[in-house]
């Protein structure tokens, strides 16, 4: 996807139907079992998630 055009990104990432479950501390996305891009979206979300900070000594 590094060299993909906007139309490709829109079709592959933005036009995905998911069920969103929001709690106080998490947002869960439930993909359809036949969604071919679910793994890609999971990897993108984990790459963009904030990393926990190490405790100061």
2-35 pLDDT per residue, tens: 777 877 777 766 667 778 888 888 888 787 777 7
Residue 18 inside a domain? The answer is yes
Rounded mean pLDDT, 23-48: 78
CA distance 40 to 42: 5
Domain total in the chain: 1
Residue 52 confidence (pLDDT) above 80: no
Q: What is the pLDDT of residue 10?
A: 72
User: Domain of 25?
Assistant: 6-46
Q: What is the pLDDT of residue 4?
A: 73
Residue 22 inside a domain? The answer is yes
Rounded mean pLDDT, 42-49: 79
Residue 56 pLDDT grade (very low, low, confident, very high; cuts 50, 70, 90): low
């Amino acid at each position: 996807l590094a060299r993909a055009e906007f139309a490709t990104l829109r079709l592959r990432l933005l036009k995905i139907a998911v069920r969103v479950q929001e709690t106080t501390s998490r947002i869960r996305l439930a993909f359809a079992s036949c969604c071919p891009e679910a793994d890609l979206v999971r990897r993108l979300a984990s790459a963009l998630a904030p990393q926990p900070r190490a405790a100061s000594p």
